């Protein structure tokens, strides 16, 4: 264990995983977990030592077969929800995710209803001439 850790330090801790799918998954996780000593930087961007540690942790967890959700939870438990760039999808967090689509759906539905009603009562509207120069 200690030997493995020392080895990790010796190669800088940024050895990509052998499995390309796992590596891609690890990299996308690195882009959405905050480097805790930086200003608004994900760990993928940072050259800070702690970011190297966090990247290593992400890779080892992904290599151990943990799901994305489990990795996120691990970091949220350690550093707080703040560390995740992706807001939670459960509880009140779901409202944040639903907001744009609900807003679009509600306004869209009202507008569509109005449009259908209007169409029923106005069948004979003619198009304007095709080309206007601006």
Q: Assess 91 for contact with other proteins (CB under 8 A).
A: no
Q: State which H helix or E strand residue 58 sits in.
A: helix 49-63
Using CB under 8 A as the binding rule, whether residue 1 contacts other proteins is answered as: no
Site residues for other proteins, 16-45, by CB under 8 A, read 16, 27, 31-32, 34, 39-42, 44-45
Question: In the complex, what is the shortest distance from the CB of residue 128 to other proteins, in angstroms, rounded to a whole number?
Answer: 4
Q: Where are the alpha helices (DSSP H) in the chain?
A: 2-10, 20-30, 49-63, 68-79, 92-121
- Over the window 41 to 60, marking each residue x when it contacts other proteins by CB under 8 A and - when it does not, the resulting string is xx-xx-x----x--x-----
3 binds other proteins (CB under 8 A): no
Residue 120 binds other proteins (CB under 8 A) = no
Backbone angles phi, psi at 84, to 5 degrees: -95, 125
85-99: buried (b, 16+ CB within 10 Å) or exposed (e) per residue? eeeeeeeeeeeeeee
Task: State whether residue 11 is helix, strand or coil.
Answer: coil
Place of tokens 């990795």: 71
Closest Cα partner for 14 from 44, 61, 52, 70? 52
One residue of 1, 2, 4, 12 binding other proteins per CB under 8 A: 12
The residues binding other proteins (CB under 8 A) are 9-12, 14, 16, 27, 31-32, 34, 39-42, 44-45, 47, 52, 55, 80-88, 96-97, 99-101, 103-104, 107-108, 111, 115, 118-119, 122, 125-134
């Amino acid at each position: 264990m200690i030997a493995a850790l020392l080895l990790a330090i010796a190669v800088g801790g940024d050895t990509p995983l052998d499995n390309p799918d796992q590596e891609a998954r690890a990299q996308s996780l690195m882009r959405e977990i905050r480097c805790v000593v930086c200003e608004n930087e994900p760990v993928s961007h940072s050259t800070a030592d702690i970011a190297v540690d966090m990247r290593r942790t992400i890779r080892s967890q992904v290599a151990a077969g943990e799901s994305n959700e489990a990795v996120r939870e691990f970091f949220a438990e350690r550093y707080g929800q703040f560390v995740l760039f992706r807001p939670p999808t459960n509880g009140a967090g779901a409202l944040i995710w639903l907001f744009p689509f609900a807003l679009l759906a509600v306004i869209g539905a009202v507008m569509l209803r109005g449009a259908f009603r209007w169409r029923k009562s106005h069948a004979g509207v003619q198009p304007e001439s095709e080309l206007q120069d601006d």
